[in-house]
Amino acid sequence: MKVLGINGSSRKDGNTALIIKILFEELEKGEIETEIVQFSGNIIEPCKGCFACKGKNNCVFRKDMFYECFEKMKLADGILLGSPVYSADVTANMKAFLERAGVVVATNPGLLKYKVGASVSAVRRGGGMTAVDTMNHFLLNKEVIIAGSTYWNMVYGKDVGDIYGDEEGIKNMHNLGQNMAWILKKIH
């Protein structure tokens, strides 16, 4: 089994990546393979609305890293979406990725069906619920089974590493990783 973590942050190896790695620790304890894709330094172009993806199982445009990332997403058993909060929601790259992936799946139904998913957010002050909701709405609408935890899937911190001061948030991320591993094992 394999889980793909998609980090929508503009900061490579920032707080969002650290959160994803906490979940990965728990998944790896369960002998689940993990891989992270980081959008940092890249621009994900928005969907052009051409619907040329119908019957192709992926976007026809390959100028950015969308195609390769979506291929990995299709092959993975689990999907972990992560984004910091920018202007009270996910980053522009994550939003563009989700919208484009949404059209690909809408025109090619079932591509993500029965995968296990979760969404996490790194938050400085506010907007975390909106960011998690944006990512979860994508997963729910694409037939992905969502893992939950004991509280909302966000961890607070501004500078890289500050998240470790949010003990409740870190504990929640460990629990989320354990729950995701449990669901994956039950399904497979």
Q: What is the pLDDT of residues 116-125, one digit of tens each?
A: 999 999 999 9
Would residue 82 count as lying in a domain? yes
- Tokens in use for 148? 């939950």
**Cα angle at 32 between 26 and 34, to 5 degrees?**
85
Q: What is the pLDDT of residues 63-117, one digit of tens each?
A: 999 999 999 999 999 999 999 999 999 999 999 999 999 999 999 999 999 999 9
Which structural domain, as residue segments, surrounds residue 153? 2-44+70-91+112-187
Predicted local distance difference test score (pLDDT) of residue 57: 97
Rounded to whole angstroms, how far apart are CA atoms 85 and 23? 19
Would residue 98 count as lying in a domain? no
pLDDT band at 144 (very low <50, low <70, confident <90, very high): very high
Q: Report percent pLDDT > 70 for the chain.
A: 100
Would residue 122 count as lying in a domain? yes
Closest C-alpha to 131, from 153, 147, 149, 150:
153
Would residue 56 count as lying in a domain? no
Would residue 96 count as lying in a domain? no
pLDDT band at 35 (very low <50, low <70, confident <90, very high): very high
Helix (H, G, I), strand (E, B) or coil at 138: helix
Rounded to whole angstroms, how far apart are CA atoms 138 and 26? 24
Would residue 29 count as lying in a domain? yes
Would residue 102 count as lying in a domain? no
Assess contact for 143 and 113: CB atoms under 8 A: yes
**Cα angle at 150 between 149 and 151, to 5 degrees?**
95
User: How deeply is 146 buried, as exposed, middle or buried, from its count of CB atoms within 10 A (0-12, 13-18, 19+)?
Assistant: middle
- Residue whose entry in the numeric block shows the structure tokens 């689940």: 32
Would residue 160 count as lying in a domain? yes
What does the mean pLDDT of the chain come to?
A: 97
CATH number at 126 reads 3.40.50.360
Predicted local distance difference test score (pLDDT) of residue 134: 97
| H or E element that contains 84 | strand 78-84
Domain count, the chain: 1
Q: What is the pLDDT of residues 2-16, one digit of tens each?
A: 999 999 999 999 999
For β-strands 154-156 and 145-146, DSSP reports them as unpaired
